[in-house]
Amino acid sequence: MLRYTINRLLLMIPTLLGVAVLVFLLLRMMPGDIVELRFLMEGGQVSPEVLAQERARLGLDQPLWQQFIDWMTGLAVGDFGVSMWTGRPVWEEISSRLELSMQVAIMATILATLIAIPLGTLAALFKDTWIDRIIQVFAIAGLAVPSFWLGMLMILGLLLTFNWIPPLTFTPIYEDPWTNLSQLIWPAMAVGYRYSAVATRMTRSTILEVLQEDYIRTARAKGVFERLVVARHAMRNAMLPVVTVIGLEFAFLIGGLVVTEQVFNLNGIGKLFVETVTRADYTMVQALVMLVATFFIVINFLVDLLYAALDPRIRYR
Partner 1 sequence: MPRKLLLSVALTTAVALLPAVADAQTPKTGGELRFAVSAEPPDYDCHAATSFAFIHPVRPHYNTLLKFDPENYPKVVGDLAESWEQSADGLTYTFKLKKNVKFHDGTPFTSEDVKATYERIRNPQGGARSIRKAAYADIDSIETPDEYTVVFKLKERNASMLTNFASPWDCIYSAAKLKEDPRFPERNVLGTGPFKFVEHAAGSHWIGERFEDYHVEGRPYLDSYRAIFITNTAARVNALQAGEVLAEFRGHSPADRDKLVSALGDKIEVHESPWICSLVVTFNTEKKPFDDARVRRALSLAVDRWQGAEALSKIALVRHVGGVLRPGYELATPPEELEKLPGFSRDIKASRAEAKKLLKEAGVSDLKFKLMNRNVPMPYTPVGVFLIDQWRQIGVSVEHDQPETKAYIANLRGGNYEAGLDFNCDAVDDPNLQLAKYISSDRSPINYSRAIDRKLDELYDAQKGELDVEKRKQILREFEKHALTEAYTIPTIWWHRIVVTWKQLKGWHMSPSHYLNQDLQDVWLDQ
Partner 2 sequence: MAIAEETPQITYKVPKKRHPLLQFAFTQPLGAAGLVFIIALFIAGIFAEYVAPYDPLALDYGAMLAPPSLDHPMGTDAFGRDVFSRIIYGARTALAVGFLSSLLGSGIGAVIGVVSAYFGGRIDMLIQRFMDILLSFPIIVLALAVVAVLGKWPVGGLDLNLIVAIAIPMVPKVARVVRSAALAIREMPYVDAARAAGYGHARIIFRHIAPNVVAPFLIMFTAFIAQAILLEASLSFLGLGVTEPTAAWGLMLSGSSEEFYQQAPWMIIFPGLAISFAVFAFNLFGDSLRDWLDPKIKL
Binding site for partner 2 (CB under 8 A): 14-15, 18-19, 22-23, 26-27, 29-31, 133, 136-137, 140-141, 143-146, 148-149, 152-153, 156, 159-160, 205, 251-252, 254-256, 258-259, 262, 273-274, 277-278, 285, 289, 292-293, 296-297, 300
Q: Name which of 124, 32, 101 is nearest 258 in CA terms.
A: 101
What spatial distance separates the first Cα and last Cα of the chain, rounded to whole Å? 12
Nearer Cβ to partner 1 (34/207): 34
Nearer Cβ to partner 1 (237/262): 262
163 contact choice in partner 1, partner 2, none (CB below 5 to 8 Å, kind-dependent)? partner 1
Nearer Cβ to partner 1 (8/38): 38
Nearer Cβ to partner 2 (72/143): 143
DSSP for 154-182, written as a single string: HHHHHHHHHS----SS---TTT-HHHHHH
Q: Name which of 247, 235, 238, 237 is nearest 304 in CA terms.
A: 247
Cβ at position 173, least distance to partner 2 in Å: 25
Nearer Cβ to partner 1 (6/168): 168
Nearer Cβ to partner 2 (19/100): 19
Element (H, E) at 302: helix 282-310
Q: 293: which residues sit within 8 A by CB, 6+ positions away? A: 15, 16, 19
Cβ at position 89, least distance to partner 1 in Å: 11
Q: Name which of 249, 290, 248 is nearest 269 in CA terms.
A: 290
293 contact choice in partner 1, partner 2, none (CB below 5 to 8 Å, kind-dependent)? partner 2
CA distance 233 to 219: 9
137 contact choice in partner 1, partner 2, none (CB below 5 to 8 Å, kind-dependent)? partner 2
Cβ at position 236, least distance to partner 2 in Å: 20
CA distance 37 to 41: 5
CA distance 289 to 292: 5
What count of other Cβ atoms lies within 10 Å of the Cβ of residue 37?
14
Binding site for partner 1 (CB under 8 A): 30-34, 36-48, 50, 53-54, 57, 85-88, 92-93, 96-97, 152, 155, 159, 163-165, 167-170, 262-265, 267, 271-272, 275, 278-280
Cβ at position 262, least distance to partner 1 in Å: 5
22 contact choice in partner 2, partner 1, none (CB below 5 to 8 Å, kind-dependent)? partner 2
133 contact choice in partner 1, partner 2, none (CB below 5 to 8 Å, kind-dependent)? partner 2
Q: Name which of 145, 152, 239 is nearest 197 in CA terms.
A: 145
What count of other Cβ atoms lies within 10 Å of the Cβ of residue 161?
8
Rounded to the nearest 5 degrees, what angle is found at the Cα of 142, between the Cα atoms of 138 and 146? 145
273 contact choice in partner 2, partner 1, none (CB below 5 to 8 Å, kind-dependent)? partner 2
Nearer Cβ to partner 1 (99/304): 99
Residue 1 exposed, middle or buried by CB count within 10 Å (0-12, 13-18, 19+):
exposed
